[in-house]
Amino acid sequence: MVQAYEPAPLEFFRPATLEDLDRITALEAAGYPPDEAASRERLEYRLKHAGAQFLAAVCPAAAAEDGRLEVIGFVCGTLSCADKLTEESMGAHEPEGDLLAIHSVCVDAAHRRGGVASRLLRAYLSYVQGTTPGLREVRLICKERLIPLYAGVGFQMVGPSDVVHGKDPWFEMRWALGGEEQEEEQEEQRQGGGEEQG
Ligand SMILES: CC(C)(COP(=O)(O)OP(=O)(O)OC[C@H]1O[C@@H](n2cnc3c(N)ncnc32)[C@H](O)[C@@H]1OP(=O)(O)O)[C@@H](O)C(=O)NCCC(=O)NCCS
């Protein structure tokens, strides 16, 4: 009997740098409505000050004309000393903070719905554990329709967010580091397709 063949994903992940700023700004502007997209200056601030929490997905199949590999997605965040996400706690990077607030998860429209964001987020969660000593928790806010994306990589629902940003309500989700219980829950979610959303 012929076995079903699943090709390996073509993208891989690397830290984002200031050289990626133009491309990342373009992806952000294309991915979010104008009242939600971070400005070039905000993205530059994050690359400069929170570069250890900024990961890019690059794809050999999307090689640019100059031969560089094209960035097809990215995820970035900043550290905070706060316990939950507010406009204030997401506004600046506090290097000594143990809460990582994800600000943006963005994939080029041409590469969506192929699992890039899910693989990028899994890589990110592993990456920031290495780059961020003392990291306790990763949180993000998302719109209702994207809850399954984050639940699928192990985030749990906290509840409706206090943050007002654009016209739709936001939900806060968290991913806590360590603990056998957390690992078991994440494994259950992976096997069960992430239907448990807190
Ligand atoms: C949201 C985004 C990052 C998803 O990237 P992606 O690579 O397409 O995501 P994945 O392929 O890993 O999706 C995994 C699952 O998440 C959910 N999902 C992803 N995109 C979705 C969407 N637009 N609407 C509803 N569910 C979605 C689905 O359950 C999907 O599984 P399926 O394709 O088997 O149905 C991408 O659409 C994007 O960059 N959007 C613009 C920026 C944005 O809104 N970012 C999120 C901020 S909270």
Contacts of 64 (CB under 8 A, 6+ apart): 70
The answer, yes or no, to whether any atom of ligand 1 lies below 6 A from the CB of 45, is no
> 112 C-alpha to center of ligand 1: Å?
7
- Indicate the top mutation candidate among 112, 121, 139 to test ligand 1's pocket, ranked by most ligand atoms within 8 A of CB: 112
When computed from its CA atoms, the radius of gyration of the chain, rounded to whole angstroms, is 17
The CATH code of domain 12-138 reads 3.40.630.30
Domain assignments of the chain as residue spans, ordered by start: 12-138
The residue nearest atom 10 of ligand 1, judged by CA position, is 115
pLDDT values of the chain reduced to their tens digit, one per residue, 198 residues: 566 666 656 799 999 999 999 999 999 999 999 988 999 999 999 999 999 999 999 997 655 566 678 999 999 999 999 988 888 888 889 999 999 999 999 999 999 999 999 999 999 999 999 999 999 999 999 999 999 999 999 999 999 998 887 778 999 999 998 754 555 665 666 566 544 333
CB 124 within 8 A of CB 75: yes
Tell me how far apart the alpha carbons of residues 138 and 96 are, in angstroms, rounded to a whole number.
Answer: 14
